[in-house]
Amino acid sequence: MHRRETGKRDMKILHILNDGPEPGAREIIEEQGEHHEVEVVDLSVQSVSYSELVEKIAASDKVLTW
């Protein structure tokens, strides 16, 4: 987990890709990854159970879908 100099925990951000990465999504994800804990779930290439996805959403501070 990344920490800022202030000692505060950065946000945990979950990106859910429904049909693979959209144009520009990779850049945004990489940029956020420099400052926050980022997880990407690409539903076009991996199988994730509904309950597992709900757990990931609940554990995140912010969720973005593409």
Q: What is the DSSP string of 22-53?
A: PTTHHHHHHHHHTTSEEEEEETTT----HHHH
- pTM value is 0.81
Instruction: Order across the sheet with 37-42: list the strands.
Output: 37-42, 12-17, 62-65
Per residue in 3-19, pLDDT (tens digit) is 455 555 689 999 999 98
Spatial distance between the Cα atoms of 44 and 7, rounded to a whole number of angstroms: 36
Residues 10, 18, 51: CA angle, nearest 5 degrees: 70
Tell me 18's DSSP state: S
Using pLDDT thresholds of 50, 70 and 90, give the confidence band for residue 1.
very low
